[in-house]
Structure formats: structure tokens, C-alpha cells
Amino acid sequence: MGGRDMTAQAPLLRVSNLTKTFGGVTAVSNLDFELPEGKLLGVIGPNGSGKTTLVNLITGFTRPVAGRIEFRGRDVTGWPPHRVVGEGISRTFQMVRPFYQLPAYKNLIVPLYSPRVKKLTGGRYGDRSAVALDLLEEVGFERDAYVSYKKAGALPQGYLKRLELAKAMALRPDLIILDELFSGLSLAEVASIVPIIEKLKHQGKTIIMIEHRLKELFRIADGVLVLNYGRKIAEGLAAEVMKSPAVRDAYLGSEGD
């Protein structure tokens, strides 16, 4: 992805010199990268390498101490989360925390209530519950099964992750950031979510996937960015990146295989 096709159109997302520190810890350090529209970027790195912090910075949940984030050429650095969503960026959380007391489909009412959805549908979204049920079907909740009406607190992890994905999709984003969506899921569950992400890509969505599940990620990613101690240590095609000695040291060394 990198700077190779600078002649092409401006990137959808451009991050430059981004830095975030927590007390003495530098969670993200001088990070630069660009993401063209319609591409899927995988972000990998050992635990604590700053991946979630990067997501929080882009989506406005934390402010950088330095650097710049541009979306569609617009400086969105330091914007509050709701304005970032309004521009068309949505995210999932690594730790899913649904509204446990609500039925699964009611969890989607809140994103469907957002000004962005109102704007995109021109206020004619019809019944939000019906839209919510459609969305749940899209992420693999069986239609007409009881599961969509079950309290979120009673759902197994696989469904909670799908619900989290549906929440992000409900906002009709242009860029969707998935923070370890696959963690805690079985191989079969991952295999059933991959086609949903591929479909999003076909619809022209731009995607950033934070992942520890490299095999599944590399199959769908257009490019990979590797972080270690908040720094970019490699960027490019998956196969190339994994050959880099720095990556092997930092990432695979700590993974132990």
C-alpha cells in the first residue's frame, strides 16, 4: 500500500507522525501510513504494541500528543467520537460490552438513532427494529430464530462478536475498524464471519482489521502494518512483511512459534 502509488487518487485515510503517550509509556510513536479507498489493511503486533490505542486515536476516543489524522483530506485529529462517526468511520471494541439487559436486536437501536443514519436515510428509516433484524441477519443471526430476541447477556461469544460487527455496520461507515473481532472465536466461527467481511469489501468499504489470527487475516488483507512498541516496523504485502527479520524478532518471537 505504502507510498508506492502516490500518483493515484488521494488516500481515504492518512495518518502522519501520530504519537500518543500515557505517562511514561509511548503507546504510539511517530506513526505514518496511508490507506486507499476500498482496501483492507491488517494491523498486527504483539500485545501492548499500541494497536488499540491507534484505533482510539483515529476514532476520537483519545487525543494524540502529536501528529495528524486526515480522512478524505479533512483533518479529523482530536475530534470527538460522534463527529468522527459522522464523517463515516465506525469501529468495534476489542472487549465487547453490549447492553446486556436488552434483546440483541434492540442493541442496534442506538446506532440506528445516530444523526449519521438519519442523514443518510433522509429520515425515512422506517421502523428501527425491522432494520435491526435485517442487520442481524446480515451478520449471521438466523432469521426467524429466537436468537435475535434473546437478551444480549444470554448470547454466546460468537454472537456477541457478530452483534458488535452489526453495530459498526449499522452506521453505514466508509471506513470500518475491527479491533480483534476474531479473538475468542472458534475456527468455524471465524470461517463464518470472513465472508461477511469480504462482502463489506465488495461493497467498497475500506477496512482496518486489528488481528492476532494471522492466517485468517492474511487471506483477506490487501496489506499489513506491523507495530512494535508503538512503532511501525514493517508495512507491505503479508508475505513480504513476514520475511522481515525485525518482524520475526518482535512478533513471532513473542508468539513463540
Ligand X SMILES: Nc1ncnc2c1ncn2[C@@H]1O[C@H](COP(=O)(O)OP(=O)(O)OP(=O)(O)O)[C@@H](O)[C@H]1O
What does the buried/exposed string (b/e) look like for 52-87 if buried means 16 or more CB atoms within 10 Å of the residue's CB?
bbbbbbbbbebebeebebbbeeeebbebeeeebbbb
Using the rule CB under 5 A, which residue among 31, 34, 49, 52 binds Mg ion? Answer: 52
184-186-191 Cα angle (round to 5): 115
Q: Which is nearer to Mg ion, 131 or 250 (CB)?
A: 250
Using the rule CB under 8 A, which residue among 5, 63, 74, 113 binds other proteins? Answer: 113
Binding positions for Mg ion, 56-95, rule CB under 5 A: 94
Q: Is 161 in the site for other proteins (CB under 8 A)?
A: no
Of 10-18, 134-142, 164-172, 209-217, the window that binds other proteins (rule: CB under 8 A) is 164-172
Using the rule CB under 8 A, which residue among 171, 185, 225, 238 binds other proteins? Answer: 171
Judged by beta carbon distances under 5 to 8 A according to partner kind, the member of ligand X, Mg ion, other proteins, none in contact with residue 27 is: ligand X
Q: Is 49 in the site for ligand X (CB under 6 A)?
A: yes
Binding positions for other proteins, 40-59, rule CB under 8 A: 59
Binding positions for ligand X, 64-123, rule CB under 6 A: 94
Binding positions for ligand X, 9-48, rule CB under 6 A: 22, 25, 27, 45, 47-48
Judged by beta carbon distances under 5 to 8 A according to partner kind, the member of other proteins, Mg ion, ligand X, none in contact with residue 50 is: ligand X
Nearest approach, Cβ of 20 to Mg ion (angstroms)? 13
DSSP assignment of the chain: -TTTTTTSSPPSEEEEEEEEEETTEEEEEEEEEEE-TT-EEEEE-STTSSHHHHHHHHTTSS--SEEEEEETTEE-TT--HHHHHHHTEEE--SS----TTSBGGGGGHHHHTSHHHHHHTTT----HHHHHHHHHHHTTPPTTSGGGGSBGGGS-HHHHHHHHHHHHHHT--SEEEEESTTTT--HHHHHHHHHHHHHHHHTT-EEEEE-S-HHHHHHH-SEEEEEETTEEEEEE-HHHHHH-HHHIIIIIHHHT-
Judged by beta carbon distances under 5 to 8 A according to partner kind, the member of other proteins, Mg ion, ligand X, none in contact with residue 45 is: ligand X
Residues at the site binding Mg ion, with contacts judged by CB under 5 A: 51-52, 94
Residues at the site binding ligand X, with contacts judged by CB under 6 A: 22, 25, 27, 45, 47-53, 94
Residues at the site binding other proteins, with contacts judged by CB under 8 A: 59, 61, 80-82, 85-86, 90-91, 93, 97-99, 101-102, 106, 109-117, 128-129, 167-168, 170-171
